[in-house]
Amino acid sequence: MKKKETSKEPRNDLNPAGVIFDYCRAGRIGLPEAVFCQGKPKSILIDLLEQFQKRPVLFTRLDEQVFSCLPASLKRHYNYDPVSRTAFAVLCPPKDSSVRAAVVSAGSADAPAAREAARTLHFLGYSYNLYEDTGVAGLWRLAGRLEEINAHQAVIVVAGLDAALASVLGGLTARPIVAVPTSVGYGLARAGESALASMLVSCAPGVSVMNIDNGYGAACAAVRILNLLLPPAGD
């Protein structure tokens, strides 16, 4: 830990070495540290992508524009998805596939968060199924999938606007529900704040909620749950 910078030598450009990676996180909490790319200068991103091209590290919020400008020699090591804006070079070891999560989203505009959750689960080695376009304006879509959803031990619900899907599904399943509001819509959708509030005051009991668009966090919350059903040993 030699990270301090003295005033003798004022810094004028970014020092990638400034990042102190929390390597021991997986041992502590069962979840490895991930790299949140949004807002990080390109030089630091390149440094980190180079550093982790042989190790299981997940990059989130990595915009397609940023990724596409990377050197081809670096890009080819990474499995990148522009919708979820996630990338990884190596997967974590797969877990027992009978323990798995359902990701249920209301509309196709919720895809970025829903797929961030799905990709995170996949990266961490967990099985999942993704059910998209299940919004309550056409309830038959949810009804037809309910039994299948109930066969998962954790359910991630992804919805924007009125987020009514969280309440309706919360009243129909006994599974742990992690709800992700999304920033779709305009006007009073308030970039997801209204969906967030709807989920927090859901009339269905025991629905817990993540930050807006936080598919990554929802997957982590699901993994904390699924790990209860797996043998210890961790990551």
Residues 171-200 that bind a second copy (CB under 8 A): 171-178, 183-194, 196-200
Q: 209 to each of 19, 20, 36, 205, 234, how far by Cα in Å?
A: 30, 29, 20, 12, 25
**For residue 101, what are the contacts with CB-CB under 8 A and spacing of at least 6?**
121, 126, 127, 128, 152, 153, 154, 155, 156, 219, 222, 226
Residues within window 73-112 making contact with a second copy, judged by CB under 8 A: 79-83, 97, 100, 106-109, 111
Which one of 42, 68, 71, 144 is in contact with a second copy (CB under 8 A)? 144
What span, in angstroms and rounded, lies between the C-alpha atoms of 40 and 43?
8
Which one of 51, 75, 141, 230 is in contact with a second copy (CB under 8 A)? 141
With contacts defined by CB under 8 A, name the span among 49-57, 69-77, 166-174 that binds a second copy: 166-174
CB of 62 to a second copy, least distance (A): 13
Binding residues for a second copy, rule CB under 8 A, total 128
113 is written with which tokens?
A: 């968060």
What span, in angstroms and rounded, lies between the C-alpha atoms of 38 and 48?
13
140 touching a second copy, by CB under 8 A: yes
215 touching a second copy, by CB under 8 A: no
DSSP-assigned beta bridge partners for residue 59:
35, 87
CB of 6 to a second copy, least distance (A): 6
DSSP-assigned beta bridge partners for residue 101:
128, 154
CB of 17 to a second copy, least distance (A): 10
Residues within window 39-68 making contact with a second copy, judged by CB under 8 A: 39-41, 44, 61
152 touching a second copy, by CB under 8 A: no
SS3 state of residue 207? strand
Which one of 1, 65, 72, 233 is in contact with a second copy (CB under 8 A)? 1
70 touching a second copy, by CB under 8 A: no
Q: How many CB atoms lie within 10 A of CB 219?
A: 31
CB closer to a second copy, 52 vs 202? 202
CB of 181 to a second copy, least distance (A): 8
216 touching a second copy, by CB under 8 A: yes
Which one of 42, 63, 71, 139 is in contact with a second copy (CB under 8 A)? 139
CB of 234 to a second copy, least distance (A): 7
Name which of 90, 27, 84, 30 is nearest 58 in CA terms: 90
Region for residue 10 given its phi and psi (left: phi exceeds 0; alpha: psi -120 to 50; beta: otherwise): beta
